[in-house]
Amino acid sequence: MSWHAKVYVVLKPSVMDPQGSTVQRALHQMGYSAIENLRIGKFIEVNFDQALQEQEVHKQLNEICDKLLANPNIETYQFQIERV
């Protein structure tokens, strides 16, 4: 058993996403004209030692997101934790 976390890091809505808009334009040109607001983020999976309390896992996830996984100036993040 261990903790399994899924972390999603995305650009803040007000921050431009050149990659997302380029991919969206390409899809439009391929005929998928109903597509809107395509934005690209990062998905990170990570396991934690089962000995940790859920609260502690939560705390450490917040820390690693703030310090490294996301840049708070342009990105936001969310995560899900489950026991596996």
Partner 1 sequence: MRFSIIVFPGSNCDHDCEYAIRQVLKNPVEMIWHKNTDLKNPDCVVIPGGFSYGDYLRTGAIARFSPIMESIFNFANKGGLVIGICNGFQILCEAQFLPGVLLKNKNLRFVCRNTYVRVDEVDTPFTNQCKNSSVLSMPIAHGEGNFFIDEEGLKKLEDQHQIIMRYCNSKGQITDESNPNGSLKNIAGICNQARNIFGLMPHPERVCEKELGGIDGQLIWQSISNS
Partner 2 sequence: MKITPQLIQDHGLKPDEYERIVQILGREPNLTELGVYSVMWSEHCGYKHSRALLKKLPTQGKKVLQGPGENAGILDVGNGWAVVFKIESHNHPSAVEPYQGAATGVGGILRDIFTMGARPIAILNALRFGPLSNLKSRQLLTGVIRGIADYGNCMGIPTVAGEVSFDDSYLDNCLVNAMCVGVIRHDKIIKGVASGVENSVIYIGATTGRDGIHGATFASTEISEKSQEKRSAVQVADPFMEKLLMEATLELIEKNLLIGIQDMGAAGLTCSTCEMASRGNMGIEIDVSKVPLRELKMNPYEILLSESQERMLLVAKPGCEAEIHSILKKWDLNAATIGKVTETGLMVVKHEGEKVVEVPAQSLTDPPMYHPQKLEPAFLAEYRSFRESSIPVPTNFNQILLRLLADPTIASKQFIYQQYDHMVQTNTIVLPGSDAAVLRIKETNQGLAMSVDGNGIYCLLNPYEGGKIAVAEAARNVACSGAVPIGLTNCLNFGNPEKPEVFYMFEKVVEGMSDASVALEIPITGGNVSFYNESQLGPIDPTPIIGVIGVLDDVSKHVTQWFKKSGDLIYLIGEVNDLIGGSRYLQVVHGKKTGICPTIDLKNAKLLYQCLNELANKRLIQSAHDCSEGGLAVAISECCFTGIACGKPLIGAKINMAWHGRMDGILFGESQSRVLISFSPQEKKLVDQILSTYGMTFQQIGVVGGSQLLIEQAVQIDVEYIAEQFFSSLEHQVNSGGKA
Note the residues at the interface with partner 2 (CB under 8 A): 11-18, 22, 25, 71, 73-74
Q: CB 23 → partner 1: shortest distance, Å?
A: 5
Q: CB 68 → partner 1: shortest distance, Å?
A: 15
Q: Which residue of 15, 16, 26, 35 would you call a contact of partner 1, by CB under 8 A? A: 26
By C-beta, is 40 or 46 nearer to partner 1? 40
> What HEC string does the chain produce?
CCEEEEEEEEECCCCCCHHHHHHHHHHHHCCCCCCCCCCCCEEEEEEECCCCCHHHHHHHHHHHHHHHHCCCCCEEEEEEEEEC
By C-beta, is 22 or 62 nearer to partner 1? 22
Q: Which residue of 4, 28, 40, 46 would you call a contact of partner 1, by CB under 8 A? A: 40
**Beta-carbon count within 10 A of 11 CB:** 19
